[in-house]
Amino acid sequence: MKIEVFHTLYEPKGACQPIFDIRTRVFVEEQQVDRSEEFDGYESGSLHYLGSLDGKPAGTARWRFTEKGIKLERFAVLQEFRNKGVAAAVLKQVLADVIPFKKRIYLNAQVTAIGFYERYGFKKEGPMFVEANIDHFVMTYNPG
Protein backbone atom coordinates (compact mmCIF):
# COMPACT_ATOMS: atom_id res chain seq x y z
CA MET A 1 0.00 0.00 0.00
CA LYS A 2 1.48 3.34 -1.06
CA ILE A 3 0.04 6.69 0.01
CA GLU A 4 1.19 9.83 -1.79
CA VAL A 5 0.21 13.44 -1.06
CA PHE A 6 0.78 16.44 -3.28
CA HIS A 7 -0.44 20.01 -3.21
CA THR A 8 -1.41 22.47 -5.89
CA LEU A 9 -2.68 25.98 -6.30
CA TYR A 10 -6.19 26.40 -7.62
CA GLU A 11 -6.80 25.20 -11.15
CA PRO A 12 -10.44 24.91 -12.24
CA LYS A 13 -9.50 21.93 -14.38
CA GLY A 14 -6.37 19.81 -14.39
CA ALA A 15 -4.77 19.05 -11.02
CA CYS A 16 -7.75 20.25 -8.98
CA GLN A 17 -10.36 18.20 -10.83
CA PRO A 18 -9.83 14.96 -8.82
CA ILE A 19 -9.89 17.05 -5.63
CA PHE A 20 -13.21 18.64 -6.56
CA ASP A 21 -14.61 15.26 -7.62
CA ILE A 22 -13.80 13.79 -4.19
CA ARG A 23 -15.31 16.76 -2.39
CA THR A 24 -18.46 16.49 -4.51
CA ARG A 25 -18.83 12.80 -3.72
CA VAL A 26 -18.16 13.14 0.02
CA PHE A 27 -19.76 16.45 0.91
CA VAL A 28 -22.44 17.13 -1.72
CA GLU A 29 -23.62 13.57 -2.43
CA GLU A 30 -22.85 11.63 0.78
CA GLN A 31 -23.38 14.37 3.39
CA GLN A 32 -25.97 16.38 1.43
CA VAL A 33 -24.08 19.69 1.73
CA ASP A 34 -25.38 22.29 -0.71
CA ARG A 35 -22.93 22.69 -3.61
CA SER A 36 -22.81 26.48 -3.08
CA GLU A 37 -21.67 25.94 0.53
CA GLU A 38 -19.07 23.35 -0.46
CA PHE A 39 -17.58 25.42 -3.27
CA ASP A 40 -17.60 28.66 -1.32
CA GLY A 41 -15.42 31.06 -3.28
CA TYR A 42 -12.21 30.41 -1.32
CA GLU A 43 -10.85 27.97 -3.90
CA SER A 44 -8.43 30.40 -5.56
CA GLY A 45 -7.05 31.62 -2.21
CA SER A 46 -6.30 28.14 -0.89
CA LEU A 47 -3.59 25.54 -1.29
CA HIS A 48 -5.22 22.22 -2.24
CA TYR A 49 -4.02 18.70 -1.38
CA LEU A 50 -4.71 15.33 -2.97
CA GLY A 51 -3.90 12.08 -1.22
CA SER A 52 -3.70 8.98 -3.40
CA LEU A 53 -3.65 5.34 -2.39
CA ASP A 54 -1.87 3.03 -4.81
CA GLY A 55 -2.16 5.72 -7.48
CA LYS A 56 -5.92 6.27 -7.04
CA PRO A 57 -7.25 9.67 -5.84
CA ALA A 58 -8.54 9.03 -2.33
CA GLY A 59 -8.62 12.13 -0.12
CA THR A 60 -8.34 15.90 -0.06
CA ALA A 61 -7.82 18.98 2.07
CA ARG A 62 -7.06 22.66 1.65
CA TRP A 63 -5.77 25.50 3.80
CA ARG A 64 -5.83 29.26 3.60
CA PHE A 65 -4.81 32.32 5.56
CA THR A 66 -7.60 34.12 7.47
CA GLU A 67 -7.65 37.00 9.93
CA LYS A 68 -7.64 34.35 12.72
CA GLY A 69 -4.59 32.43 11.45
CA ILE A 70 -4.37 29.45 9.13
CA LYS A 71 -7.61 27.58 8.55
CA LEU A 72 -7.48 23.94 7.51
CA GLU A 73 -10.55 22.87 5.55
CA ARG A 74 -12.27 20.36 3.31
CA PHE A 75 -10.71 17.18 4.63
CA ALA A 76 -12.51 14.40 2.80
CA VAL A 77 -11.72 10.76 2.06
CA LEU A 78 -13.75 8.61 -0.30
CA GLN A 79 -15.65 5.90 1.54
CA GLU A 80 -13.72 3.02 -0.05
CA PHE A 81 -10.39 4.50 1.15
CA ARG A 82 -11.33 5.33 4.74
CA ASN A 83 -9.36 3.86 7.66
CA LYS A 84 -6.35 3.18 5.44
CA GLY A 85 -4.14 6.09 6.51
CA VAL A 86 -5.06 8.55 3.77
CA ALA A 87 -6.53 11.20 6.08
CA ALA A 88 -3.54 10.94 8.43
CA ALA A 89 -1.07 11.31 5.55
CA VAL A 90 -2.87 14.36 4.18
CA LEU A 91 -3.16 15.97 7.63
CA LYS A 92 0.52 15.36 8.41
CA GLN A 93 1.57 16.96 5.12
CA VAL A 94 -0.69 19.96 5.64
CA LEU A 95 0.67 20.47 9.16
CA ALA A 96 4.26 20.16 7.94
CA ASP A 97 3.54 22.87 5.39
CA VAL A 98 1.76 25.34 7.71
CA ILE A 99 3.65 25.02 11.02
CA PRO A 100 6.63 27.06 9.72
CA PHE A 101 4.35 30.11 9.33
CA LYS A 102 4.11 30.27 13.16
CA LYS A 103 0.46 31.33 13.09
CA ARG A 104 -2.59 29.96 14.87
CA ILE A 105 -3.73 26.76 13.11
CA TYR A 106 -7.40 25.87 13.38
CA LEU A 107 -10.26 24.06 11.69
CA ASN A 108 -13.98 23.44 12.00
CA ALA A 109 -14.28 19.72 12.74
CA GLN A 110 -17.38 17.66 12.25
CA VAL A 111 -18.30 16.03 15.57
CA THR A 112 -17.64 12.58 14.10
CA ALA A 113 -14.03 13.58 13.35
CA ILE A 114 -13.13 15.08 16.76
CA GLY A 115 -11.24 11.98 17.93
CA PHE A 116 -9.20 11.85 14.74
CA TYR A 117 -8.02 15.45 15.10
CA GLU A 118 -7.35 15.04 18.83
CA ARG A 119 -4.90 12.20 18.03
CA TYR A 120 -2.84 14.73 16.08
CA GLY A 121 -2.72 17.47 18.72
CA PHE A 122 -5.92 19.44 18.08
CA LYS A 123 -8.08 20.65 20.98
CA LYS A 124 -11.74 21.67 20.97
CA GLU A 125 -12.39 25.35 21.51
CA GLY A 126 -15.74 26.92 22.35
CA PRO A 127 -19.26 25.56 21.96
CA MET A 128 -20.60 23.22 19.31
CA PHE A 129 -22.12 24.97 16.27
CA VAL A 130 -23.90 23.96 13.09
CA GLU A 131 -22.31 24.49 9.68
CA ALA A 132 -23.90 23.07 6.49
CA ASN A 133 -26.47 21.31 8.72
CA ILE A 134 -23.69 19.33 10.45
CA ASP A 135 -22.54 19.70 14.08
CA HIS A 136 -18.99 21.08 14.40
CA PHE A 137 -16.44 22.34 16.93
CA VAL A 138 -13.61 24.76 16.30
CA MET A 139 -10.36 22.95 17.01
CA THR A 140 -6.92 24.49 17.32
CA TYR A 141 -3.60 22.77 16.80
CA ASN A 142 -1.39 22.44 19.84
CA PRO A 143 1.98 20.98 18.86
CA GLY A 144 3.17 18.63 21.50
Q: pTM of the prediction? A: 0.93
Residue 111 is predicted with a pLDDT of 96
Q: Residue 27 in contact with residue 39, Cβ under 8 Å?
A: no
Residue 9's closest CA among 35, 43, 51, 59? 43
Domain ranges, ordered by start, for the chain: 3-103
Residue 65 is predicted with a pLDDT of 97
Q: Residue 58 in contact with residue 81, Cβ under 8 Å?
A: yes
Is it true that domain 3-103 has CATH number 3.40.630.30? yes
Higher pLDDT, 36 or 74: 74
